[in-house]
Amino acid sequence: MDALDILTDLENVIPYFQAIFSADEHKVIGYEVLGRYNGINGIESLGPFFLDESIPEEYKNEVDKAVLTKALDKATEVKGDFLLFINRDADLLMYDDGEEFLQMLMSYEERGMDLKRIVLEISERNYTGQSQHLDHLLVYYRTFGIKIAIDKMGSESSYIDRIGELAPDIMKIDLLALRSTSTSHMYQNVLYSLSMLARKIGANLLFENIEMVHQLQFAWKNGGRFYQGFYLHHPGEYFIDPAIRKSQLGAEFHEFISYEKKKLTSILQLTAKFQIKLNELLQKYRKYSSYEELLKCLSNELTDVAFRMYVCDEDGFQKSANIFYDNNIWVLQDEYVNKNWSWRPYFLENIIRMQNEKKGILSDLYSDIETGGTVRTFSYPLDANEFLFIDLSYNFLDKMEVLLN
């Protein structure tokens, strides 16, 4: 694709529109504008053109302007209040301090385009300017009702440290790496963390590059409000019926809901079984003289279930040694006595829950700091001030498939 061929043939530079669907209505709520070139080889993406660093910025601006002009022309011709997602590289946007982009949008506002329908997808992939200047521009755009989305989250160009500064309305998370169902739990944990961050700052999550149903399920499960990708709809020249996937999404979300309810029910039932089992074991070994003696007795009963156990007080100070399953034997690790774990997420919250509810709690999945393995912990109140922690082994979790989801 030759840059000069494109620049001298702007008539054949056209916009394509990729539909974005919502979780709450199961309908199309907007479109991402994508650049295409209708040349001798047929329709080609302009992505390589915009990413080619050897092409002068003024060339890219001319092509970008042609794509956007035609996209806005089409958007003003049809009825509807759908959002229009417009990609802008930060360097290109700041080429003239963002003035031409804003003036173009304002000219279409005079033709009936509500600027509240515009979502600016900003990418700082190779931005060379000052972040402060860009931030001021985005704040200025927002005074016109323009929404801001951070692009390429969850990819190699993600920039989590900028989220707090930009305070985006929408965070786009790329699920390209999640095409395989065998993608590591570590990667999924990173995406889960992004979803938690979005919740904290009040941003909506848009998951893109959804190509398979398990990606859609992951996006739904992790708080995605908006969805985009070939699995739902391929980009095209025209806007589509907003309800084109309504019945499909309704049926798939119903399956997701049913699966999640069954999983949660199974986890609650398993938690209840742990509770009964621990009640029985503690009654059996109630006459222990030290925590280490208790842990040794419990380890003989829980070899197929746990790989680590210890006792803490209500402030998170460890009152016992660890007992750790290593090379088919249980060993005591005295160096853990008096360590404090109150800094761990949810630790104090779970202590208060156990004190009030007087029953054990099964944690969510997390990666163990020391072993790096995927674990869950069952916490159990020994009395009002002391609590038993049992780290469940991966082999046990694997047998109970529901515990690894």
Tell me the pLDDT tens digit for each residue of 273-309.
999 999 999 999 999 999 999 999 999 999 999 999 9
Residues 344-358 have a mean pLDDT of 94
Q: Which of 344, 338, 291, 340 is nearest to 315 (CA)?
A: 340
Average pLDDT over residues 387-404: 89
Strand partners, 20: 30
Cα–Cα distances in angstroms (integers) from residue 66 to residues 27, 218, 307, 385, in the given order: 29, 36, 62, 69
What 3-state DSSP class applies to 380? Answer: strand
Task: Give pLDDT tens digits for 16-71.
Answer: 999 999 999 999 999 999 999 998 889 999 999 988 889 988 899 899 999 999 99
Q: Two tokens at 268? A: 């609650």
In the structure, what pLDDT confidence band is assigned to residue 191 with cuts at 50, 70 and 90?
confident
**Location of structure tokens 């065998």:** 182
Q: What does 183-227 look like in DSSP terms, one character per residue?
A: --HHHHHHHHHHHHHHHHHTPEEEEE---SHHHHHHHHHTTEEEE
Q: Where are the domains of the chain?
A: 3-235, 260-404
In angstroms, how far is CA 142 from the centroid of its own chain? Answer: 25
Backbone angles phi, psi at 283, to 5 degrees: -70, -40
Sorted by sequence, the CB contacts under 8 Å of residue 267 that are 6+ apart come out as 362, 402, 403
- Tens of pLDDT, residues 99-152: 999 999 999 999 999 999 999 998 766 666 777 888 899 999 999 999 999 876
Q: What is the pLDDT of residue 181?
A: 60
Tell me: the pLDDT tens digits for 233-289? 999 999 999 999 999 999 999 999 999 999 999 899 999 999 999 999 999 999 999
> Read out DSSP for 152-194?
EETSTT--GGGHHHH--SEEEEE-GGGSSTT--HHHHHHHHHH
Structure token pair of residue 8: 């001298």
Residue of 47, 33, 139, 26 whose CA lies nearest to 83: 33
Say whether 263 sits in a helix, a strand or coil: helix
pLDDT value of residue 299:
96
pLDDT (0 to 100) of residue 161: 66
DSSP conformation class of 302: -
3-235 matches 260-404 in fold: no
- Terminal CA-to-CA distance of the chain, rounded, Å? 45
Give the residues across from 372 on adjacent strands. Answer: none
In sequence order, what DSSP letters do the residues of 282-301 get, joined into one string? HHHTTT-SSHHHHHHHHHHH
Is the pLDDT reported for residue 158 higher than 50?
no
Across 356-364, average pLDDT: 94
Q: Strand 224-227 and strand 204-208: pairing?
A: parallel
Confidence (pLDDT) at 157: 42
Residue identified by tokens 């329709």 is 43
**The pLDDT value given to residue 69:** 97
Long-range Cβ pairs for the range 255-258 (8 Å, 24+): 256/217, 256/220, 256/221
Measured distance CA(183)–CA(162) in Å, rounded: 26
Look up the CATH architecture of domain 260-404: 2-Layer Sandwich (3.30)
Task: Name the pLDDT band for 349 (thresholds 50, 70, 90).
Answer: very high
Distance CA 151, CA 168 (A): 10
Instruction: Give the CA count within 13 Å in the CB-facing half-sphere of 332.
Output: 14
**Selection from 191, 221, 226, 223 nearest residue 206 by Cα:** 226
Among 1.10.3720.10, 1.10.540.10, 3.20.20.450, 3.40.30.10, name the CATH number for the domain at 3-235. Answer: 3.20.20.450
Residue 129: burial class (beta carbons within 10 Å; 0-12, 13-18, 19+): middle
Task: Quote the CA–CA distance of 49 and 54 in Å, as a whole number.
Answer: 9
